[in-house]
Amino acid sequence: MGQVARSRASRWLTRVFVSAYAIDLDEAEGSIEDYPTLEALFTRRLRPGLRPVDASPDVLVSPVDGTCAFAGRSQGGAIEVAPGQALHLGALLDRPLQGERDVFVLYLSPRDYHRVHVPREGRATGWSYVPGTLWPVFPAAVRRVSGLFARNERAIVQLQTDRGQLDVVLVGAFGVGRISLTVCDLITNSGGQPASGPLPRIPLERAQELGTFHLGSTVVVIGEGWTPLVRPGDPVRVGQALARGRR
């Protein structure tokens, strides 16, 4: 599917996709004629100024356009992403994690803008890539596949902020399944092995671009000391206040 979406032969699918998912191309740079492949449509940019960024000093902003699927605190190192379905944060991050965290799960549908942005200004200190499956991540699949987010491949960026560390997890999904990052040359779903590395404390501004889904998926933001301002089912947009700091 990735090869098809990246090929010029997929151009005829762009209009079908826009119609099927009611994609608002008025928000996108250019017109549909400017997207020569289906992947180019998925990775489209927004016109400048369409997503005002909340500048309040104590907020965490949404890194994506999508829908909140979970906003709250872990219990026993896990959150419930669907009735009876626990997501263990250590498994998701592929590293030991002590204590509880505040977690935000944000689902991107096929119609959503697919670029991922920085939820709070700080410095990127590390990244990791965890290969895995590419289960669909729409709600019905999350309800049926145990530990889905921790089974799918994912790219993780660690951010050090003035309010502690944030982990931004980009979870791959069925379809094109490719993720790219701006802080390193990682491109997932291309035959790579598990990998990780430090970063030279790259400075990042709030809502600066951090990565791209080459098809819709899910972002999980993990931190400490954040009180949610959104609830499951709420739509979210890049730059919108997602949570307020507790300290």
Residues whose CB is less than 8 angstroms from the CB of residue 127 and which lie 6 or more positions away in sequence, other chains included: 155, 156, 157, 158, 181, 183, 184, 186, 196, 197, 199
Rounded CA gap, 121 and 80, in Å? Answer: 28
Residues whose CB is less than 8 angstroms from the CB of residue 74 and which lie 6 or more positions away in sequence, other chains included: 89, 100, 101, 102, 103
Give the lowest-confidence range in 3-12, 36-45, 216-225: 3-12
| Predicted local distance difference test score (pLDDT) of residue 191 | 72
| Predicted local distance difference test score (pLDDT) of residue 176 | 64
The separation between CA 162 and the C-alpha centre of its own chain, rounded to angstroms, equals: 22
Predicted model pTM: 0.95
| Predicted local distance difference test score (pLDDT) of residue 163 | 96
Q: What is the mean pLDDT of residues 195-224?
A: 94
pLDDT for residue 83 is more than 90 = no
Nearest to 169 by CA among 120, 116, 122, 216: 116
The pLDDT confidence band at residue 43, using thresholds 50, 70 and 90, is: very high
Q: What is the mean pLDDT of residues 108-125?
A: 96
Q: What is the mean pLDDT of residues 26-52?
A: 93
Instruction: Please report, for residues 108, 114, 163, 177, the alpha-carbon distance to residue 42 in angstroms, rounded to integers and kept in the order given.
Output: 11, 6, 33, 12
Read out DSSP for the chain? -HHHHHSGGGHHHHHHHHHHHT--GGGBSS-GGG--SHHHHHTPPBPTTSSPPP--TTEEE-SSSEEEEEEEE-BTTEEEEETTEEEEHHHHHTS---S--EEEEEE--TTS--EEE-SSSEEEEEEEEE--B----SHHHHHHSTTHHHHB-EEEEEEEETTEEEEEEEE--SSS--EEESSS--BSSSSPPPEEEEEEEEEE-TT-EEEEESS--EEEEEESSEEES--TT-EE-TTSEEEEE--
What are the residue boundaries of the structural domains of the chain, listed by start? Answer: 1-50, 51-245
Active site members: 65, 117, 217
pLDDT for residue 177 is more than 80 = no
